[in-house]
């Protein structure tokens, strides 16, 4: 596990777990490090220095998340003892009395970086695949292996919190150097020599970057003037950032950091361990580890991609429609190095779509994130046109014209004989069943839904929709395209509204139903943000327009199917009335649930109180659980109907695509965390109080009875 090589008094410790492809903080590591540290202490009189490096492609992968996700509250004492032992070992290495240097040959995240932080000097190989950082906050945890205590003592409280701990950023070597968590970036083949050089030129305490026994805190304790100004406003800023949502990790990190500045190193370290244990034994960390580690890993590993299709890489894409979505899709493709032909009804209209990329790039230049030369190369990849014949040579087509079946069929017909004969054909429709669009298309097996989210440059998800005739080749290639443009693909079967729009609809319509019941609209919106939704339901309904539910209902009625159509949903009475009686159609029309004054921020329309409010004070917990349950129950229905194909797709799709609160780990993980039987019981009580839409689907009931969870 830890190889030992003594070369003229310089010991190289090579981390190398034989049982796994990466080193993690498992029992074998703790045992091996214990023995290694003992030997170092015993032989220290003969040592000149220690180099810590790794035989794996990553330096050290950090905590073992499989083990972490199984921790129960009753394990708290044991977890505390283990983490204290890990830290005792690192502290022994740090206070050994000889220089210790980390030669970081691969990514060092979480516990991996914490090992390196316990060394006196960190040298990292100059390789852009390497990531450094403590991303624990993104998994509902804090860096409990000394990460909080040491970064605060190295960088000062403010920089440690703002640049490292609360962001959880994964940094490339140059970025890590500028932040100060590593000391040198050297060519990969010089790494071990550079470490050796640092040891041989090391000059006792005089060159030690800080006093390793006591660690002075740069910027001083909270009583120093700079910090005194920063600290009082900090909790309020944090609350604002979190919008009142109950995320315990940022609070715990901040508390551990601030409390740690008041005491000596050892006490600070124990405080950090206690906060770590409180997070690790809670449900939120389990939810977030499930979604952001296991589910994401499964999707990125291609669990939903048909495996027998060769890997595909798009060269030239034709984007049909240069409106809001088409312009964003063109930007995302060009960013990934794909040539784009951007087609609209005229060259002028298409050029306006290209301007969108120009504006985004100009902002990046202003922020110093990209150079003028890169902008030129980027823009040269986008060719605007009004002529379908310019799509010659395209091996991929993504359509984003108006939401109209006839128009979509027409634009595909126009390019049928122009593009490559086996070009992948994709539609970005947000509501129309994919199979209905393939009428008249001579290659329906090459046709697939590729549903982006707005704004395309920022939204990480793409929903791939498999029509009745879509081939495995098309699914695999569409999956590869989404990965090529660095987004996350979920794969679902065709249905009205697919998965995301259907489930999103249940949330916003639940908000409208609450208005119908006479609940104070301020309470509705506040309940959502405090439950962790990134945006509240009435504001979101305004964004997508209040006529959308009507359109979906009309289309569903015309097609004679009701799934996902909200036909008898109580929220429909409210959207219908706002549109028909008050001509309030949403944000684009300047009036919806909100007013949009030109001279200030949006505010809820006073007419909501006049025409709808009936002093019906539904308890806050009911408001919140109705939104969460509506989405989770619809997700189960999608699974039951075969629209969803996997649990990871459900969890990740609900968080990345439609804002299901990340702290619950996604729409199905929320049910797991709640407990399936308790969830069924609560669904029934919500159904009795608020309507049959909360009745638990048969699949949920049978799963609860079988004592299973969604996995
Ligand atoms: P938009 O109205 O901004 O853009 C549509 C564009 O299509 C316009 O520029 C129009 O000139 C162009 N167009 C019309 N006929 C054309 C033709 N024959 N050839 C080429 N271009 C033509 O609409 P938006 O919002 O970009 O939506 C486009 C599609 O994306 C729709 O199917 C919509 O449902 C879907 N979608 C929209 C989302 C959104 O948030 N707006 C999200 C996801 C999907």
In order, the DSSP letters of 324-373 are HHHHHHHHHHHHTT-EEEEE-SSHHHHHHHHHHHHHHHHHHHHTTSS-HH
> CB of 323 closer than 6 A to ligand 1?
yes
The pLDDT-based confidence of 217 (bands split at 50, 70, 90) is low
Q: Is the pLDDT of residue 360 over 50?
A: yes
- C-alpha to C-alpha distance for 325 and 394, rounded to whole angstroms: 19
> Which residue has tokens 């939120």?
284
Q: Which of 320, 317, 424, 325 is nearest to 381 (CA)?
A: 317
> CB of 345 closer than 6 A to ligand 1?
yes
Could you give the residue numbers annotated as active site?
451
- Ligand 1: centre distance to CA 320 (Å): 8
284-320 pLDDT per residue, tens: 999 999 999 999 999 999 999 999 999 999 999 999 9
- Are 268 and 259 a contacting pair, CB within 8 Å? yes
> CB of 501 closer than 6 A to ligand 1?
no
- Ligand 1: centre distance to CA 652 (Å): 26
Beta bridge partners, 63, equal: 25
Could you give phi then psi for residue 35, rounded to 5 degrees? -65, -40
- Residue ID of nearest Cα to ligand 1 atom 17: 345
The whole-number pLDDT of residue 669 equals: 97
∠ Cα 316 317 318 (to 5°): 130
Q: Is 604 helix (H, G, I), strand (E, B) or coil?
A: strand
The whole-number pLDDT of residue 261 equals: 87
Q: Which superfamily does CATH assign the domain made up of 2-281 to?
A: 2-enoyl-CoA Hydratase; Chain A, domain 1 (3.90.226.10)
Mean pLDDT confidence for 610-630: 94
Mention the CATH class of domain 500-642+646-706: mainly alpha
Cα 308 to the chain's mean position, in Å? Answer: 29
> CB of 183 closer than 6 A to ligand 1?
no
- Ligand 1: centre distance to CA 456 (Å): 13
- Are 432 and 403 a contacting pair, CB within 8 Å? yes
Percentage of the chain lying above the pLDDT 70 cut: 96
Using alpha carbons, list the distances in angstroms from residue 347 to 398, 407, 417, 418. Answer: 18, 19, 21, 18
Q: Is the pLDDT of residue 74 over 50?
A: yes
Is 3.40.50.300 the CATH number for 316-498?
A: no
210 or 95, which is more confident: 95
> CB of 343 closer than 6 A to ligand 1?
yes
Q: Is the pLDDT of residue 211 over 60?
A: no
Joined together, the tokens standing for residue 455 give: 């704004």
- C-alpha to C-alpha distance for 7 and 285, rounded to whole angstroms: 43
The pLDDT-based confidence of 207 (bands split at 50, 70, 90) is very low
Measure CA of the first residue to CA of the last residue in the chain; give whole Å: 32
681-695 pLDDT per residue, tens: 999 999 999 999 999
Quick one: which atom of ligand 1 is closest to the CA of 544? 40
Q: Which of 319, 320, 324, 354 to mutate to test the pocket of ligand 1 (most atoms within 8 A of CB)?
A: 324
- C-alpha to C-alpha distance for 656 and 646, rounded to whole angstroms: 15
Q: Which of 323, 346, 411 to mutate to test the pocket of ligand 1 (most atoms within 8 A of CB)?
A: 323
- C-alpha to C-alpha distance for 579 and 556, rounded to whole angstroms: 19
Q: Is the pLDDT of residue 208 over 60?
A: no
Joined together, the tokens standing for residue 516 give: 């119908």
- Ligand 1: centre distance to CA 426 (Å): 13
How many CB atoms lie under 10 A from the CB of residue 55? 13
- Residue ID of nearest Cα to ligand 1 atom 29: 400
452-481 pLDDT per residue, tens: 999 999 999 999 999 999 999 999 999 999
Q: Show the 3-state SS of 168-191.
A: CCCECHHHHHHHCCCCEEECHHHH
Q: Is the pLDDT of residue 19 over 80?
A: yes
∠ Cα 198 199 205 (to 5°): 100
- C-alpha to C-alpha distance for 536 and 510, rounded to whole angstroms: 11
- C-alpha to C-alpha distance for 244 and 242, rounded to whole angstroms: 5
CB neighbours of 478 closer than 8 A, spacing ≥ 6? 424, 426, 448, 450, 464, 489
- Are 356 and 328 a contacting pair, CB within 8 Å? yes
As a dihedral over the C-alpha atoms of residue 309, residue 313, residue 315, residue 320, rounded to 10 degrees, the angle is 70
Q: Is the pLDDT of residue 160 over 80?
A: yes
Q: Show the 3-state SS of 629-655.
A: HHHHHHHHHHHHCCCECCHHHHHHHHH
Using alpha carbons, list the distances in angstroms from residue 534 to 373, 419, 656. Answer: 36, 40, 11
- Ligand 1: centre distance to CA 324 (Å): 7
∠ Cα 283 75 292 (to 5°): 35
- C-alpha to C-alpha distance for 527 and 665, rounded to whole angstroms: 19
Quick one: which atom of ligand 1 is closest to the CA of 543? 40
- C-alpha to C-alpha distance for 173 and 548, rounded to whole angstroms: 47
Quick one: which atom of ligand 1 is closest to the CA of 326? 26
- C-alpha to C-alpha distance for 133 and 117, rounded to whole angstroms: 11
- Ligand 1: centre distance to CA 357 (Å): 16
The whole-number pLDDT of residue 210 equals: 46
- Residue ID of nearest Cα to ligand 1 atom 31: 403
Q: Which of 471, 444, 484 is nearest to 312 (CA)?
A: 484
> CB of 322 closer than 6 A to ligand 1?
yes
CB neighbours of 229 closer than 8 A, spacing ≥ 6? none
Alpha-carbon Rg for the chain in angstroms: 28
What is the residue extent of each domain of the chain? 2-281, 316-498, 500-642+646-706
The whole-number pLDDT of residue 59 equals: 96
- Are 359 and 327 a contacting pair, CB within 8 Å? no
- C-alpha to C-alpha distance for 252 and 471, rounded to whole angstroms: 49
246-269 pLDDT per residue, tens: 789 999 999 999 999 888 899 999
Joined together, the tokens standing for residue 396 give: 């991929």
- Residue ID of nearest Cα to ligand 1 atom 8: 323
- Are 685 and 619 a contacting pair, CB within 8 Å? no
Beta bridge partners, 318, equal: 341, 397
- C-alpha to C-alpha distance for 709 and 442, rounded to whole angstroms: 43
| ipTM metric | 0.98
- Are 423 and 445 a contacting pair, CB within 8 Å? no
DSSP string, 74-134: GGHHHHHHHHHHHHHHHHHHHTSSS-EEEEE-S-EETHHHHHHHTSSEEEEES-TT--EE-
Mean pLDDT confidence for 360-376: 89
Q: Is the pLDDT of residue 350 over 50?
A: yes
- Ligand 1: centre distance to CA 467 (Å): 21
> CB of 351 closer than 6 A to ligand 1?
no
The DSSP symbol for 692 reads: G
The pLDDT-based confidence of 123 (bands split at 50, 70, 90) is very high
- C-alpha to C-alpha distance for 245 and 122, rounded to whole angstroms: 37
Percentage of the chain lying above the pLDDT 90 cut: 80
pTM (predicted TM-score): 0.90
**Strand ranges inside 400-438, DSSP E:** 424-427
Q: Which of 105, 120, 100, 107 is nearest to 186 (CA)?
A: 105
Least confident window among 410-424, 432-446, 673-687: 432-446
Q: Show the 3-state SS of 225-289.
A: HHHHHHCCCHHHHHHHHHCCCCCHHHHHHHHHHHHHCCCCHHHHHHHHHHHHHHHHCCHHHHHHH
> CB of 401 closer than 6 A to ligand 1?
yes
- Are 50 and 103 a contacting pair, CB within 8 Å? no
Q: Is the pLDDT of residue 579 over 70?
A: yes
- Are 428 and 325 a contacting pair, CB within 8 Å? yes
**Strand ranges inside 469-579, DSSP E:** 488-493
Q: Is 25 helix (H, G, I), strand (E, B) or coil?
A: strand
> CB of 454 closer than 6 A to ligand 1?
yes
Mean pLDDT confidence for 101-120: 96
The whole-number pLDDT of residue 216 equals: 67
Mean pLDDT confidence for 603-626: 94
> CB of 344 closer than 6 A to ligand 1?
yes
Using alpha carbons, list the distances in angstroms from residue 218 to 112, 169, 230, 526, 696. Answer: 24, 22, 14, 40, 56
- Ligand 1: centre distance to CA 649 (Å): 26
Mean pLDDT confidence for 386-412: 96
């Amino acid at each position: 596990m830890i190889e030992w090589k003594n070369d003229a008094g310089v010991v190289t410790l090579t981390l190398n777990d034989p049982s796994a492809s990466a080193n993690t903080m498992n029992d074998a590591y703790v045992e091996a490090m214990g023995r290694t540290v003992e030997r170092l202490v015993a032989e220290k009189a003969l040592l000149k220095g220690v180099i810590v490096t790794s035989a794996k492609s990553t330096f050290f992968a950090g905590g073992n998340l499989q083990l972490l996700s199984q921790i129960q509250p009753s394990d708290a004492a044991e977890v505390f003892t283990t983490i204290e032992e890990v830290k005792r070992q690192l502290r022994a290495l740090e206070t050994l009395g000889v220089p210790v240097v980390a030669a970081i040959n691969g990514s060092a995240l979480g516990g991996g970086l914490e090992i390196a932080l316990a060394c006196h000097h960190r040298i990292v190989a100059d390789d852009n695949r390497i990531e450094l950082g403590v991303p624990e906050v993104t998994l509902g945890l804090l860096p409990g292996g000394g990460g909080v205590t040491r970064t605060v003592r190295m960088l000062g409280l403010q920089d440690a919190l703002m640049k490292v701990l609360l962001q959880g950023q994964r940094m490339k070597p140059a970025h890590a150097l500028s932040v100060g968590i590593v000391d040198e970036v050297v060519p990969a083949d010089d790494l071990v020599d550079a470490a050796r050089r640092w040891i041989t030129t090391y000059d006792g305490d005089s060159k030690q970057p800080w006093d390793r026994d006591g660690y002075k805190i740069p910027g001083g304790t909270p009583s120093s003037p700079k910090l005194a100004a920063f600290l009082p406003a900090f909790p309020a800023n944090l609350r604002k950032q979190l919008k009142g949502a109950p995320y315990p990790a940022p609070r715990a990190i901040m508390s551990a950091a601030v409390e740690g500045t008041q005491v000596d190193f050892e006490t600070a370290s124990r405080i950090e361990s206690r906060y770590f244990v409180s997070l690790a034994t809670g449900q939120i960390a389990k939810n977030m580890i499930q979604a952001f580690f296991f589910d994401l890993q499964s999707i990125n590993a291609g669990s939903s991609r048909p495996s027998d299709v060769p890997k595909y890489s798009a060269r030239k894409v034709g984007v049909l429609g240069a409106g809001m979505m088409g312009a964003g899709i063109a930007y995302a493709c060009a960013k990934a190095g794909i040539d784009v032909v951007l087609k609209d009804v005229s060259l002028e209209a298409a050029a306006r779509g290209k301007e969108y990329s120009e504006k985004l790039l100009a902002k990046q230049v202003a922020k110093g994130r990209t150079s003028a030369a890169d902008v030129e190369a980027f823009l040269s990849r986008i060719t605007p046109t009004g002529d379908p014949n310019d799509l010659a040579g395209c091996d991929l087509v993504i359509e984003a014209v108006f939401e109209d079946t006839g128009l979509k069929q027409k634009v595909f017909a126009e390019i049928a004989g122009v593009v490559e004969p086996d070009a992948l054909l994709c539609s970005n429709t947000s509501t129309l069943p994919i199979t209905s669009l393939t009428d008249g298309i001579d290659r329906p097996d090459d046709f697939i839904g590729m549903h982006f989210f707005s704004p395309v440059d920022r939204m990480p998800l793409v929903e791939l929709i498999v029509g009745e005739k879509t081939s495995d080749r098309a699914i695999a290639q569409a999956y590869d395209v989404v990965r090529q443009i660095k987004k996350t693909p979920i794969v679902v079967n065709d249905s009205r509204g697919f998965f995301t729009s259907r489930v999103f609809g249940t949330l916003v319509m639940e908000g409208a139903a609450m208005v119908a019941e006479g609940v104070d609209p301020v309470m509705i919106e506040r309940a959502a943000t405090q439950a962790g939704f990134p945006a509240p339901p009435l504001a979101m309904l305004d964004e997508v327009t209040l006529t959308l539910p009507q359109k979906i209902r009309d289309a569903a009625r015309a097609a004679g199917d009701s799934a996902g159509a909200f036909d008898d949903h109580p929220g429909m009475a409210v959207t219908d009335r706002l549109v028909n009686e008050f001509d309030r159609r949403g944000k684009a029309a300047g009036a919806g649930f909100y007013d949009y004054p030109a001279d200030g921020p949006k505010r809820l329309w006073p007419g909501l109180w006049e025409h709808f409010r009936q002093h019906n004070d539904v308890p806050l917990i009911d408001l919140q659980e109705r939104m969460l349950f509506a989405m989770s129950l619809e997700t189960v229905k999608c699974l039951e109907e075969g629209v969803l194909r996997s649990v990871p797709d459900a969890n990740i799709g609900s968080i990345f695509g439609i804002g299901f609160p990340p702290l619950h780990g996604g729409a199905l993980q929320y049910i797991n965390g709640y407990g399936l039987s308790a969830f069924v019981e609560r669904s029934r009580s919500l159904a009795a109080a608020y309507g049959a839409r909360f009745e638990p689907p048969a699949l949920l009931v049978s799963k609860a009875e079988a004592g299973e969870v969604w996995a």
